[in-house]
Amino acid sequence: MRFLLPCLFALITGCASVLVARQLDERFGPADPGHFDRPPAARVNAPDYWKEVRPILDHRCVSCHACYDAPCQLNLSSYAGMTRGANPTQIYSTRLIEEAPTRLGFDAINNREWRARGFFPVLNERRQEAEANRVGGVMYRLLAMKRDNPGPSSGPITSQDMDFSLDRTQVCVRAEGMDDYARHHASRGMPFGLPPLAEAEYATLTNWLEAGAPYAPPAPPTPAIARQIALWEDMLNGDDRRSRLVARYIYEHWYIGQFHFREQAEINFELVRSRTPPGQAIEVVATRRPYDDPGVDRVYYRLRRLEATAVAKTFMPIELDPARLARIRGWFFAADYPVDPLPGYDPGLTANPFVTFRALPVDARYRFMLDEAQFTLGGFMKGPVCRGQIALDVINDHFWVVFQAPGEREGELTSRLLDAAAPTLNLPSENESSGGLLAWRSFAKQEARYLEIKSKAIVRLASVDADYKLSVASLWNGDGKNPNAALTVFRHFDSASTLRGLVGERPQTALLLGYPLFERMHYLLVAGFDVYGNVGHQLATRLYMDFLRMEGELNFLALLPSGERQKALDHWYRGRKKAHNDHFADASNYFPADSGEPYLSSTPLEELYGKLQKRLAPVREPALDWIGSDLSDAQLVQIRRMSQLKGRPVSHMPEMSLLLLEQPGRASRVVSLIRNSAHSNVAQLFDEEKRRLPDEDSLLAIDGVAGAYPNAIYSLDAEKLPDFVSAVASLGSEADLVKLTERFGVRRTDPRFWPTSDAIHAAWRKTTPREAAILDYSRLENR
């Protein structure tokens, strides 16, 4: 009987929805799925979309409704996303068969097509009149629900009907189901689990919705921007084979980015494949992966304007300027080399970039990736996903990344290595999006073979070339001016962030990347990863990343004296089960030769960290040392005190918090508090909590916003900073954290929530305007 009742309830609810739909049709006429394909023009008495409506949507709605993890796939970051509507299918789920992609701007060209793909409207698509737009608009009804049922104004939310877990069961309600939804879930109005809109904001949005959601396209870019677009598209669409292969390489690395020009930095563009050449309207080629067969004889690479609001969890900005264009031309076009023939699009080959782009100079490819290394590495966290605990539990919470310096000798060695090892460098994505674990053993064997070839090649070179010694001096220093020479990665459980520079005195681990490893990471985790793929594909990607992470760690340990490497490796992998192969378990097996770096202390690993900091100091960004922060010396002492906190007290802090420091007479300051959770190792797929080492946890206070998903927000006068630091240092339980929140926190229910959020975003835009974007509040804790 207990199984029949839910079915009976669903049947009754479904019948009721059909009845209400008929009633709406009788009152306001049938729905027109193509209504918003011809957006209503702006009206005299209606709020202006760009000046009045869009800012409210950005700062009150987009914080949850953007990217793939938007509830019910309702993406409110653009007008197109709003009119597309919602879909109950969850993108982040365990599926046995790959899902059809639903990427906004790619997989359907109008709302009629989206309706055929299972999306339903949240705006009224029946007869356009104020009453119909109120009664038949899901968005209007949810805003009104929140106004009528604002929820508590203090303390945590205790309603059993409010579930804030990421994997909660979605309820995606259509207009015809809103009456029943409001009766049973009155507390679930929008913004969900946050304070209601201010009266003026509510009036603006509802008046706009009542007016039929009028819209006008944004003003076009200036003629100067149009000329720069033409220059870039000219470079990307040359007719000769070399130009076409170079453009393909650039696209497969840049397709995830947002590009702007200095003269109008507020306008972003994306790089797409089009059926049409420059000068004609873009006809986008939509494929599951950037290297899939486009289905046309030739594609053109075009810059398409983005109307969507930039959100921190996916925003990867790059400025296109004459200097960058000149660098690319110098890397790829200065030398004369043949490209014959052009590679095709066979899935077994395109997933292996070393085969596809073999004709392009290795040094050019590597320098292209290094030039924006933060962008390239950040793509692993921001590119094809918005959420990824399965993918991200393969990395530590705090690690450094440095790079082998590019150069003629390094390029020649890499070219010879790739020629010898190319057959062993296939990636799981060659099985497309429905790969399973049955292919895992073959990839494990290939990786073992590759490491064997690589180790022998390095040893052989070291034996014949006395000058070839791996040392700190052989690491890339950014050519003395590029801060991408070193990166720090922070993992926040199921999200991660990447900062330029070496952050923190001592990381949990470190990676040394050369071109082959850097490229494989990109094609594994970005170009080849499919968020719509089946569980086998996603799990195989995670397991293969184990190989790549360990290879990078062993590269780094090769900088140590040969007798010290195993000690460091064993510490990084305490309690590890049997390694995938002997190269990962035995540091001397991986690279038996000694390094060329001299050591004077009895703690060479600590000494190595210091050497790295010294070598990369010239390209270190001032904000990492709080230079220019306008905080007093006494306040900086407290900030540094926080960054020295370790152990059990720190383990009670949220993964990522934002601290807003109010300074009378001066601008507010945002501080990111990052808790680095320690683990005995990250070589196992499950039971993460069993590998936790809370006594080794650490906290870092970072100037500005570092991360897209704050778990907690604190706000206090700067003079209270010593009290806050002392309270954090004395945390001993969950109850203590609740007291900290009561004293300094800005909870979900706090009337100060939206003003505090606005202040954080304003401070971020002021300090780093080219990187600031909208934060995601879906991970905010409820305590």
pLDDT at 93: 73
Phi, psi at 304, each rounded to 5°: -105, 130
Tell me the average pLDDT across 493-519: 93
What is the C-alpha to C-alpha distance for residues 478 and 484, in angstroms, rounded to an integer? 6
Average pLDDT over residues 30-55: 94
Tokens for 300?
């053109």
Q: What is the pLDDT of residue 529?
A: 87
Rg of the chain over all Cα atoms, to the nearest angstrom: 27
Higher-confidence residue: 363 or 396?
363
Decide if pLDDT at 460 tops 50: yes
User: Which amino acid belongs to residue 360?
Assistant: L
CB 461 within 8 A of CB 413: yes
What is residue 414's predicted lDDT score, i.e. its pLDDT? 87
| pLDDT range class, residue 708, cuts 50, 70, 90 | very high
pLDDT higher than threshold 60 for residue 568: yes
- pLDDT range class, residue 9, cuts 50, 70, 90: very low
Confidence of residue 712 (pLDDT cuts 50, 70, 90): very high
Region 563-585: mean pLDDT is 80
The confidence score (pLDDT) of residue 421 equals: 82
3-class secondary-structure state, position 626: coil
Q: pLDDT value at position 393?
A: 61
Buried b (16+ CB within 10 A) or exposed e, 426-454: bbbbbbbbebeeeebeebbebbbebbbeb
> Which pLDDT does position 434 carry in this prediction?
55
Give yes or no for a cis peptide into 341 (omega within 30° of 0). Answer: yes
Residue 647 to residue 300: CA distance in whole angstroms: 54
| Separate counts of helices (H) and strands (E) for the chain | 29, 12
Q: Which of 52, 77, 74, 68 is nearest to 773 (CA)?
A: 77
Q: Which residue has the tokens 């209606």?
A: 46
Q: Of 780, 712, 767, which is closest to residue 743 (Cα–Cα)?
A: 712
Q: How many CB atoms lie within 10 A of CB 375?
A: 20
* Gap between the Cα atoms of 177 and 173, Å rounded: 6
pLDDT digits (tens, 9 = 90+) for 734-776: 999 999 999 999 999 999 999 999 999 999 999 999 999 999 9
Residue 399 has pLDDT above 90, yes or no: yes
Residue 81: left (phi > 0), alpha (psi -120 to 50), or beta?
A: alpha
pLDDT digits (tens, 9 = 90+) for 274-332: 999 999 999 999 999 999 999 999 999 999 999 999 999 999 999 999 999 999 999 99
| Among 116, 127, 67, CA closest to 92 | 67
What is this structure's pTM?
A: 0.94
Question: Do 697 and 675 touch, CB atoms closer than 8 A?
Answer: yes
- pLDDT, tens digit (0-9, with 9 covering 90-100), for 336-378: 999 999 999 998 789 899 999 999 999 999 999 999 999 999 9
pLDDT tens per residue across span 599-636: 999 999 999 999 999 999 999 999 999 998 889 999 99
Q: Which of 137, 146, 147, 132 is nearest to 86 (CA)?
A: 137
Q: Is the pLDDT of residue 436 over 70?
A: no
Which stretches of 38-187 are DSSP H helices? 54-60, 79-84, 111-116, 130-135, 138-148, 178-184
CB-CB contact of 189 with 146 (8 Å): yes
The two structure tokens encoding residue 94: 């365990």
